[in-house]
Amino acid sequence: MKKIFVNNQIRAKEVRVIDENGKQLGIMPLEEAINIAKEHNLDLIQVTEKLYPPVCKIFDFGKYQYQQQKKEKELKPSGGKIKEIRLSFGISEHDLQTKANSAEKFLKKGDIVRVEIRLKGREKAHFDLAEEKIKKFIEMLDNLIPIKMEKGIKKTPQGFSVIIFKK
């Protein structure tokens, strides 16, 4: 979690202020904004520093922290264990479907699935075919259960891997 600047920790001389109801109060000196927040028994919290003047919100700091933690938790994939499914370069259509069915069971339990295809020897000359296999597997799995990929398909020196979790 990034550092949150509150009240006297804010370094800017002027700030754009938003009150607890979401109404913009405009640009004002930092001291005036802090006084308004104290009058309402709340804190002045710097929401973003990328803009000039920085945007600050009059809000209860404890409540704000709780909301931020809740947002971060929603972004992270929830789940139990990481289950691994390995595909081979010459895997048949039926075996691919069987592996997709087992991955579906893992995902329904709430586990995270790591799918990997390893290439050996001369197979390494056909990265494109291996990537097509893993894409086909993901498509089969997506038809069974709605899935979400973390970062997409990753190319490794040995082949490809992808981390999948349930939407």
Per-residue pLDDT reduced to its tens digit, 47-60: 887 888 888 888 88
Determine if the pTM surpasses 0.85. Answer: no
Domain-located, residue 134: yes
- Transcribe 35-60 into DSSP letters: HHHHHTT-EEEEEESSSSSPEEEEE-
pLDDT digits (tens, 9 = 90+) for 90-148: 889 999 999 999 999 988 888 889 999 998 888 888 888 888 899 999 998 888 888 88
Which of 39, 74, 109 is where one domain is finished? 74
Strands 82-87 and 112-118: parallel
Structure tokens at 64: 């704000």
Choose between 119 and 73: higher pLDDT.
119
Domain co-membership, 70 together with 144: no
Q: Which domain holds residue 116?
A: 82-166
Q: Is there a domain that residue 115 lies in?
A: yes
For residue 46, is it within any domain? yes
Cβ proximity of 61 and 45 under 8 Å = yes
Residue 62 sits in the same domain as residue 101: no
Range 66-71 average pLDDT:
83
Whole-number Å distance between alpha carbons of 96 and 133: 9
Mean pLDDT of the chain: 85
141: Cα within 13 Å, side-chain hemisphere? 30
| 113 and 146 together in one domain | yes
Which of 74, 102, 126 finishes a domain? 74
* SS3 label, residue 92: coil
41-72 in b/e form (b: 16+ CB < 10 A) is ebbbbbbebeeebbbbbbbeeeebeeeeeeee
Dist. CA 158–CA 71, nearest whole Å: 36
Both 33 and 106 in one domain: the answer is no
Residue 75 has pLDDT above 80, yes or no: no
Decide which of 46, 74, 102 is a domain's last residue.
Answer: 74
Q: Of the candidates 145, 138, 141, 142, which has an alpha carbon nearest to the alpha carbon of residue 161?
A: 138
Domain total for the chain? 2
- Total length of the chain: 167
User: Do residues 88 and 159 both lie within one domain?
Assistant: yes
